[in-house]
Structure 1
Amino acid sequence: MSVSNPTLITFVIYIAAMVLIGFMAYRSTNNLSDYILGGRSLGSVVTALSAGASDMSGWLLMGLPGAIYMSGLSESWIAVGLIVGAYLNWLFVAGRLRVQTEHNGDALTLPDYFSSRFEDKSGLLRIISAVVILVFFTIYCASGIVAGARLFESTFGMSYETALWAGAAATIAYTFVGGFLAVSWTDTVQATLMIFALILTPIIVLLATGGIDTTFLAIEAKNPDNFNMLKNTSFIGIISLMGWGLGYFGQPHILARFMAADSVKSIAKARRISMTWMILCLGGTVAVGFFGIAYFSAHPEVAGPVTENHERVFIELAKLLFNPWIAGVLLSAILAAVMSTLSCQLLVCSSALTEDFYKTFLRKNASQVELVWVGRVMVLLVALIAIAMAANPNNRVLGLVSYAWAGFGAAFGPVVLISVIWKQMTRNGALAGILVGAITVIVWKHFELLGLYEIIPGFIFASLAIYIVSKLGAPTAGMVERFDAAEKDYNLNK
């Protein structure tokens, strides 16, 4: 690997810029609220793009294009489900959660919000929700580290073990130093880079394969069923792919962006920006995988790496079709997708350990400086555990993401959604929802029942548990009063 390698130089400049942003954010981080939620100061553009970038991890440029390359358009149902789910999350949850967290003890984390919203004096709700965050996010972080390792491995010819550490180091650095502001500011840069890569790459692949007509003929010649969105699918299969959209209601790293918005008024504009960005990115992702079928069928001599691991289709197209300097920028987009999601996942895990365990149970009177440094140490701890989990080179990015996504979607999704729209929900209802959702996902995944994606039964059973258990009791007057005040605030300012 030569130091004059343009791709390497591009990567180094990009990583250095992200770490520099981390140090700039460090100067604005004075207390735990700044470190965890950026002092609730994000404007609509940063809220929108950081929510999008933190959502679309390495699977956007690796897992999904790989699935489309292997199976054709039948895998694109997942994109449809995600777009619908994201829109509904912005519409029903974003603004209400921003207001509800403020009215419920100015909550900084989801466990903090649940504890205040349902007046849980026992701490049980906080502990269980924090444990769910740590379990599923550590798996999610591992998926990001695998994606980063794959990128460094295929781009620079590193061993998987070396690539594992190289891919994780930069993200850990700026998250450790700058916290939430660093993560959100870098997310905005990274979201811009991702959309640039996902609009440019399919266009160049089309030109390289002779235009739309020639490309489509080549894809059809390879397998006519590539155009069939119902190929090898069943009703359960389509529902499973669409079911990914349910996950949005429960993803702590995305919900944190809503909680950090500077006001409810920013949410509507942020929704429009974020959904436009998302639709363009997902469209580009599907196009990369789809057009890649035509390119590699026409050039079988360079298809080896993609045949070996289909998740490398974007990486190989960028390396083959672009000037090394441009390829470096495009491959940095994968690093951007990985870093943007991994960083906010590390931060949410850190905040759960710091705010929900350390401060609540060990050091109630800890100073803000102490809490920020504990948060930084926890970033390192979670990162090391995730690196250990990612050590198996046979890991697939999309598989790891799907399990963690289902875990959060089922455990937290119904609780968050129902808590912001139904004032009769109780503490025991919330507890039942989290437990039933998480357990259903774990059991369903283990036994692979009906071939149905585990998020769907998890979400349904958790919602039923919340309703039934809440109906067996009643919320306190204080819970109802705070809910009504927050709802009134939301309706006045939306």
Structure 2
Amino acid sequence: MSVSNPTLITFVIYIAAMVLIGFMAYRSTNNLSDYILGGRSLGSVVTALSAGASDMSGWLLMGLPGAIYMSGLSESWIAIGLIVGAYLNWLFVAGRLRVQTEHNGDALTLPDYFSSRFEDKSGLLRIISAVVILVFFTIYCASGIVAGARLFESTFGMSYETALWAGAAATIAYTFVGGFLAVSWTDTVQATLMIFALLLTPIIVLLATGGIDTTFLAIEAQDPSNFDMLKNTTFIGVISLMGWGLGYFGQPHILARFMAADSVKSIANARRISMTWMILCLGGTVAVGFFGIAYFSANPALALPVSENHERVFIELAKILFNPWVAGVLLSAILAAVMSTLSCQLLVCSSALTEDFYKTFLRKSASQVELVWVGRAMVLLVALIAIALAANPQNRVLGLVSYAWAGFGAAFGPVVLISVIWKNMTRNGALAGILVGAITVIVWKHFELLGLYEIIPGFIFASLAIYIVSKMGAPTSGMLSRFAAAEKDFRLNQ
């Protein structure tokens, strides 16, 4: 294994710091609410950066720059769609979900919230939503582990199998020990590292290629259509890329940050911080992939690793252009992106298994200490399954993410969005929305109908199902009164 000592030392220091934060959070974790939602104590800065970091996984520094490098600016429609979707999620869902979960049984998880919001005594809504979380999040976790393995493989010359375990180990360690607080505190550090890497790298690439004018001329010489936002795409293609933004309404790991905010009053400031961070990071990501075209066309002898796997464009630029110590910090940003999202996903899966299955159906009288340790055991179980799914070295990060993102966006997005803005939604409407959304994504993906990203038909059909089925029944007086009280609380405190 060829090891660059400065890079290795930087990685070790970074990972040790994350695990240390995990042990600090361990001391503040006294019950299941602390382990799953941090006792609803996050301020606006931690809420904002944790939501951003948990969202932007390894695809931010690997999948998206690779797509831009291969196809030019036409792939940036994803970034535009994500920015619009994230802003609307903060605007319409964040504050309302925070108060609705509190007014509906102080719910700790989405299945818990759905069950209380719609007075589902059968447990069917809780079970189905928890199963959807486990299926799609395990796939999503696998994407994070693939990204981490690619990083260790490229940086230290490890075999893919060894890199798989090395990349996952640190994340599992601090999530296992510290729970939600560890995940949120480390997310804040990781978000800072990510934005530093994504602002610095494109500037240095520009300098290395001779400035903005020379860079743009080199990109144009390589292929003039790199500047064409509609290159090799159609109206359906653009809508599909923009459709990624719909996914935000249904991502449990992002919605958990809204639920964990210390108050509704923190949400507005958190929205401003998070959106600024997100726009700068996505802009930097697009720039890295785009300017990378100019750099590697001017230096073809260095382009072989990127030609073999375009998702390595950021990794190779960091290794070539920077001092090994700085490169270590920049490459740690990829690890930060992977760890921040993977840790959130492991925790959401753990909470679904612990709160929505173990506590609800197996051990109603379980102590808080027992539930926390069951939660930790579930982190290990889900991590091992995700590692098994990630074992195929041919996996591509963006492909795995797109499927899981669509699954959550269509199954949960309409249910969450409509549940916080429409008082007349019913339990059967919610059930229909989850089932129709999830099934549409699976079927549409399988048959690749119309070339349209499966989240769009999934979101539309699920929304229609919620409205039509809800109109066939009526909410109870208790559902209406809790909704009204939560809405009043939201308007008084926003």
User: TM over 0.5, yes or no?
Assistant: yes
Indicate conservation of the 8 Å contact 2:145/2:390, yes or no.
yes
Please give the per-residue CA displacement for 1:328-351, whole angstroms capped at 9, x wherever unaligned: 000000000000000000000000
**Uncovered stretches (5+) of structure 2, i.e. residues with no partner:** none
Separation in 1, partners of 2:289, 2:253: 27
Indicate conservation of the 8 Å contact 2:78/2:241, yes or no.
yes
Indicate conservation of the 8 Å contact 1:134/1:349, yes or no.
yes
Separation in 1, partners of 2:246, 2:119: 27
Indicate conservation of the 8 Å contact 1:69/1:289, yes or no.
yes
Please give the per-residue CA displacement for 1:119-140, whole angstroms capped at 9, x wherever unaligned: 0000000000000000000000
Indicate conservation of the 8 Å contact 2:410/2:434, yes or no.
yes
Aligned counterparts, 1:468-483, within 5 A = 468-483=468-483
Separation in 2, partners of 1:249, 1:97: 11
Task: State the secondary structure of the residue aligned to 1:42.
Answer: coil
Please give the per-residue CA displacement for 1:131-151, whole angstroms capped at 9, x wherever unaligned: 000000000000000000000
Residue in 2 that maps onto 1:253: 253
Separation in 2, partners of 1:145, 1:450: 31
Indicate conservation of the 8 Å contact 2:4/2:156, yes or no.
no
Residue in 1 that maps onto 2:448: 448
Separation in 1, partners of 2:90, 2:460: 21
Separation in 2, partners of 1:369, 1:486: 31
Indicate conservation of the 8 Å contact 2:4/2:324, yes or no.
no
Please give the per-residue CA displacement for 1:83-132, whole angstroms capped at 9, x wherever unaligned: 00000000000000000000000000000000000000000000000000
Please give the per-residue CA displacement for 1:392-426, whole angstroms capped at 9, x wherever unaligned: 00000000000000000000000000000000000
Task: State the secondary structure of the residue aligned to 1:394.
Answer: coil
Indicate conservation of the 8 Å contact 2:3/2:157, yes or no.
no
Cα distance, 1:179 vs structure 2: 0.1
Separation in 2, partners of 1:236, 1:230: 11
Cα distance, 1:308 vs structure 2: 0.1
Cα distance, 1:3 vs structure 2: 6.7
Separation in 1, partners of 2:179, 2:344: 9
Cα distance, 1:169 vs structure 2: 0.1
Cα distance, 1:2 vs structure 2: 6.3
Aligned counterparts, 1:95-494, within 5 A = 95-494=95-494
Separation in 2, partners of 1:2, 1:245: 40
Separation in 2, partners of 1:266, 1:249: 19
Cα distance, 1:35 vs structure 2: 0.1
Cα distance, 1:437 vs structure 2: 0.1
Indicate conservation of the 8 Å contact 1:205/1:291, yes or no.
yes
Distance 1:224 1:2, change over 3 A: closer
Separation in 2, partners of 1:477, 1:305: 62
Separation in 1, partners of 2:160, 2:184: 29
Separation in 2, partners of 1:222, 1:375: 52
Task: State the secondary structure of the residue aligned to 1:184.
Answer: helix
Please give the per-residue CA displacement for 1:219-268, whole angstroms capped at 9, x wherever unaligned: 00000000000111100000000000000000000000000000000000
RMSD: 0.6
Task: State the secondary structure of the residue aligned to 2:325.
Answer: helix
Cα distance, 1:293 vs structure 2: 0.0
Indicate conservation of the 8 Å contact 1:23/1:174, yes or no.
yes
- Runs of 4+ aligned structure 1 residues displaced above 3 Å come to 1-4
Cα distance, 1:183 vs structure 2: 0.1
Distance 1:114 1:316, change over 3 A: same
Indicate conservation of the 8 Å contact 1:141/1:386, yes or no.
yes
Separation in 2, partners of 1:234, 1:206: 31
Separation in 2, partners of 1:172, 1:245: 29
- TM-score with structure 1 length normalisation? 1.00
Residue in 2 that maps onto 1:22: 22
Separation in 2, partners of 1:450, 1:139: 24
Indicate conservation of the 8 Å contact 2:2/2:157, yes or no.
no
Separation in 2, partners of 1:308, 1:476: 59
Indicate conservation of the 8 Å contact 1:359/1:371, yes or no.
yes
Indicate conservation of the 8 Å contact 1:160/1:393, yes or no.
yes
Please give the per-residue CA displacement for 1:59-89, whole angstroms capped at 9, x wherever unaligned: 0000000000000000000000000000000
Separation in 2, partners of 1:446, 1:159: 32
Indicate conservation of the 8 Å contact 2:3/2:156, yes or no.
no
Please give the per-residue CA displacement for 1:241-299, whole angstroms capped at 9, x wherever unaligned: 00000000000000000000000000000000000000000000000000000000000
Indicate conservation of the 8 Å contact 1:3/1:9, yes or no.
no
Separation in 2, partners of 1:235, 1:265: 40
Indicate conservation of the 8 Å contact 1:145/1:338, yes or no.
yes
Separation in 1, partners of 2:176, 2:85: 31
Cα distance, 1:4 vs structure 2: 6.7
The count of residues paired between Structure 1 and Structure 2 equals 494
- TM-score with structure 2 length normalisation? 1.00
Task: State the secondary structure of the residue aligned to 1:380.
Answer: helix
**Uncovered stretches (5+) of structure 1, i.e. residues with no partner:** none
Percent identity, aligned pairs only, is 94
Indicate conservation of the 8 Å contact 2:94/2:267, yes or no.
yes
Please give the per-residue CA displacement for 1:153-186, whole angstroms capped at 9, x wherever unaligned: 0000000000000000000000000000000000
Cα distance, 1:42 vs structure 2: 0.1
Indicate conservation of the 8 Å contact 1:265/1:493, yes or no.
yes
Separation in 2, partners of 1:29, 1:362: 23
Please give the per-residue CA displacement for 1:14-49, whole angstroms capped at 9, x wherever unaligned: 000000000000000000000000000000000000
Cα distance, 1:210 vs structure 2: 0.2
Separation in 1, partners of 2:481, 2:4: 64
